[in-house]
Structure 1
Amino acid sequence: MYGDRIKAKRLRLDMTQKEFSDSLGLGRNGERTLRRWENNETSPSTIELNMILNYPEIHPFGVDEDFNEDFTFIDLFCGVGGIRLPFQQLGGKCVFSSEWDKFAQKTYYRNYGERPHGDITEITNEQIPAHDILLAGFPCQPFSQAGLGLGFEDTRGTLFFEIERIIEGHRPMAFLLENVKKLRTHDQGNTLKVIREHLENLNYELYIDVLRAADFGLPQNRERLFIVGFDKELLDDPENDSFNFTFPEPTGIPTRLGDILQEYVDELYTISDTLYAGHLRRLEQHRERGNGFGFSLFNHDSVYTNTLSARYYKDGSEILIDQGPRANPRKLTPRECARLQGFPDEFTIPVSNTQAYKQFGNSVPVNVIRAIARRMKDTLEPYLD
């Protein structure tokens, strides 16, 4: 019997039975099945056992201590590390990370071998190492169309000023901040105006734009606002008063949803008759009122989907996959959500499906970050040792 080996494997991974069964893709009754295996009540098949024992215990994106970096960076409000990944792949070394959510910390650790520090408001500048670039996907709920839109009146909105504090204290060469598109127009533009003024007062040259995931090879209509800043104190040429940074242009790579969909998907992800009936009823009600709200159905040939949200785990209404006339639509799997955001398949998902949906819904389009990171590195090349 293999119960002790399976349990020992799970405990080494620091995963609950629910997290491990979901990560293994054991289906609707996976947690119960895993529990029976561990208790030696039943035995897994040879294929299932190999899948468990071969589950990676290494950190697929961990960095060796002797890594010869081109630059250093810190990763604030890091989530599962979607901003970190492309900067690291371009030769950067992360010297500090921060994330308050314990489930996101678990995913971050499993992939990078580093457990982020917690609440940034409790971390002093002295506890943060010197760095060349600051990265921060600071909380978007206060500015999002999906939130209350309170902006700086919301406590989470004030976390921007924690970023300002760290920039002022460490004066990195550059920074990249990411937020929702609505930040540009929130409070008639006053919120972004305040952010811009505070950053410019620190003597940084700013570049601000909205980029869309679908323009960079990802089949998702996800638009995000990016703020890139460069320290003007680096400019020692009196004839050059600008960094001449430009945001990347759309790649023109065609997108198709079918390219990121898995071939086999467990029935677990097919929505129930009750939920589907509710979706259809609300869709009809919205039609009668003359608006376009309701669930959104896509198929393999769809060019792109709606924006994946952190609430996707609830009913999947913004992105449902058509399974033909004889079956209800289904939700994306967590792995498909990861792909939709540009994460490679080597990226480990060590949490329950519910937490995975939240994490990838809160994450960033990695392809877009990679394109910006390349431009930022090129701009900073003359100033890097």
Structure 2
Amino acid sequence: MIVERNLFTPLLKLKNFKPYFTDYKNQIVRFVDLFAGLGGLRLGFEQASSNIGLKSQCILSSEIKKSALQAYTDHFKETPQGDITQINTNDIPNFDVLLAGFPCQPFSNAGKRRGLDDTRGTLFFEIMRFLLAKKPRGFLLENVPGLLTHDKGKTFSIMLSHLKECGYFVNYKLLNAKDFGVAQNRERLYIVGNLSCPIDLDRFPIAKCVFKDIQERHLELLNTPFTQKILSQFTPNELYGKAIKDKRGSNNNIHSWDLGLRGVVNQAQKDFLNLFLKERRKSKYAMLWGTPQKDGVPLSLKSIQDFFNHADLINLLDDLVAKGYLKQIKNSKNSELGFALSGGKLSFEFSKILHPNEPTPTLVASDMHKIGVIDFKNKEAGLRRLSVQEGLRLFGFPKNYGLNTSYKESMDLLGNSVCVPVIQAISKRLIKVI
């Protein structure tokens, strides 16, 4: 594997000075909080410091998103600096530990996986700038699992190489928040570095939690055409853990045609749509359409006739198009018409209904505001959205943390946040060796 080198040659000249060490007579650990978001990294680090018996002081924080800046300021009573690229290297104060949950979109499945070619991906180099400028004792970075495999591992290899060239012992591990007492199945990549020795990221104590352990009760229920329709066809027990999307998912998915959201369909049409979900993934149809295989290739009438035999197929398809379950797409290569599903999971009022006896799935910014909860009010079962307070608990934020932004903004901020208890557990090990 070829690893790019000398990307930081001008800055490496800064390594000729002695690292800054805190005067531990005052028992204060000074840290910087970069790409701070809601401050989850800071909260976890401060909790760990306090548990060990040390004071901690955030001497610089940076965040560019307006709603995150407001939330951070409201809680910590201090306003982060804005664009990190505009912070002059000469103005960076001495510090002991660097914390950064650097932007994950370039490496995540939700993003386009452009990695270091993406402008946001280059923000890793801002982390390097801070490390090279002050050579702190340690660092803790958080990102998505996709960083490990991006560009066949080359992106992550480059990052590790640069971190090690700075003189750090570097360790990394995928850890899941559901093992740290958080009611969310959220696996993330954690990278730690220290000047004196490697930091163990194995054998953390296991703590379990499920959604009902943090759920609020008897909140206001929604009464919309969608909730009326779904509750008329399914009992609460049948809805627990269901995803609502026109995609594969065995018995875990409720499809738009199951609910008749775009119009009532007959059994033959339901059978066709369920079969269509599976057949459109086959490589032979991708080849016929002239496109690389993917989950969602349009199928021509001839291709459909290969797997679905129906006396009135054309009218069946036309009716599904008219009602909006299917759409027609013209092949740019030969002008042939193909059929594709009209919408994915993001087109529905809800994308997932949580199961009370399980951790939630990974909550992401793109559709966290579409998470549904079965609740009871006046002894009647109903459906509501995940509350902001529940969202905060699902990331391990303390009870005194509040969000004064809009509902959608709050969920967007949380979906990009870190799970505080995981940060606390890692930080405790980091602090003990710095």
TM above 0.5, yes or no, is: yes
Counterpart selection for 2:145 from 170, 178, 181 = 181
Partner of 1:363: 417
CA distance, structure 2, for counterparts of residue 92 and residue 338 of structure 1: 23
> Which residue is equivalent to 1:220?
184
Corresponding residue to 1:166 among 104, 121, 130:
130
Structure 1 residues 199 and 286: alpha-carbon distance in aligned structure 2, compared to 1, 3 A threshold: farther
**CA displacement 1:156-190 (0-9 Å, x = unmatched):** 00000011111101101001111001111111111
1:255 shift after superposition? 1.4
Q: 1:95-119: per-residue Cα shift (whole Å, max 9, x none)?
A: 0000001110110011101100000
Indicate how the Cα distance of structure 1 residues 73 and 272 shifts in structure 2: closer, same or farther if over 3 A, else same. farther
2:79 is aligned, of 105, 111, 115, to 115
Take 2:274 and 2:152, find their aligned partners in 1: how far apart are those partners? 28
Q: CA deviation at 1:289?
A: 1.4
With over 3 angstroms needed to count, the CA separation of the structure-2 counterparts of 1:173 and 1:259, relative to structure 1, is same
Contact kept, 8 Å, 2:171 with 2:198, in 1: the verdict is: no
1:219 and 1:287 map into 2 onto residues whose CA distance is 35
In structure 2, the residue corresponding to 1:160 is in which secondary structure?
A: helix
CA shift in 2, pair 1:145/1:328, >3 Å:
farther
Query: Which residue of structure 2 aligns with residue 301 of structure 1?
Result: 357
1:300 counterpart letter in structure 2: P
- Any idea what SS the aligned residue of 1:118 has? coil
Determine if contact 2:34/2:62 at 8 Å carries over to the other structure: yes
Instruction: Show the counterpart of 2:175.
Output: 211
1:105 alignment partner in structure 2: 69
For residue 226 of structure 2, the aligned residue among 251, 273, 279 is: 273
Whole-Å separation in 1 of the counterparts to 2:216 and 2:100: 31
Instruction: Tell me the equivalent position of 2:115.
Output: 151
Q: Whole-Å Cα distance in 2 between the matches of residues 335 and 82 of structure 1?
A: 15
Q: Deviations over 1:304-334 (max 9, x none)?
A: 11111112355x1xx4323489755332111
| Cα distance in structure 2, aligned partners of 1:211 and 1:283 | 38
In structure 2, the residue matched to 1:37 is: none
Candidates 344, 366, 372, aligned match of 1:320? 372
CA separation of 1:154 and 1:287: change in aligned 2, threshold 3 A: farther
Contact residue 125 and residue 170 of structure 1 kept, 8 A: no
Q: What is the aligned length?
A: 298
SS state at 2:57 partner: strand
Instruction: Report the counterpart of residue 17 of structure 1 in structure 2.
Output: none
Q: Secondary structure at the match of 2:126?
A: helix
Q: What displacement does 1:358 show?
A: 0.8
2:277 to 286, 289, 306: 289
**Deviation of 1:85 (Å):** 0.6
Secondary structure at 1:199 match in 2: helix
1: CA distance between counterparts of 2:204 and 2:91?
39
Q: How far apart are the structure 2 equivalents of 1:131 and 1:250? A: 27
**3-state DSSP of counterpart to 1:267:** coil
User: Quick one: percent identity of the two aligned structures?
Assistant: 38
Say if 2:175 and 2:187, in contact at 8 Å, map to a contact too.
yes
Q: Is the CA contact 2:145–2:174 (under 8 Å) kept in the aligned structure 1?
A: yes
Is this contact kept in 2: 1:313–1:357, CA < 8 A?
yes
Secondary structure class of the residue paired with 2:205: coil
State the alpha-carbon separation in 1 of the partners of residues 220 and 104 from structure 2. 33
TM-score normalized by structure 2? 0.64
Alignment partners' CA distance in 2, 1:364 and 1:206: 20
Is 1:246 the counterpart of 2:246? The answer is no
- The one-letter code matched in structure 1 to 2:373 is I
Contact kept in structure 1, 2:217 and 2:375, CA below 8 Å: no
Matched, 1:347 2:401: yes
**Change in 2 beyond 3 A, CA 1:218/1:313:** closer
CA contact (8 A) 1:271 1:331 kept: no
More strand by share: 2
User: Is the contact between residue 139 and residue 192 of structure 2 (CA under 8 Å) also seen in structure 1?
Assistant: yes
State the match for 2:93 in structure 1. 129
Instruction: Note the residue ranges of structure 1 that are not aligned, 5 or more in a row.
Output: 1-67, 236-242, 381-385
Q: Quick one: which amino acid aligns to residue 322 of structure 1?
A: I
Q: 1:11-58: per-residue Cα shift (whole Å, max 9, x none)?
A: xxxxxxxxxxxxxxxxxxxxxxxxxxxxxxxxxxxxxxxxxxxxxxxx
Q: What is the one-letter code of the residue matched to 2:218?
A: Y
Distance 1:183 1:330 in 2: 34
Contact 1:272/1:328 (8 A) holds in 2: no
2:298 alignment counterpart: none
TM-score computed with the length of structure 1 as normaliser: 0.72
* Structure 2: distance between partners of 1:143 and 1:124: 27
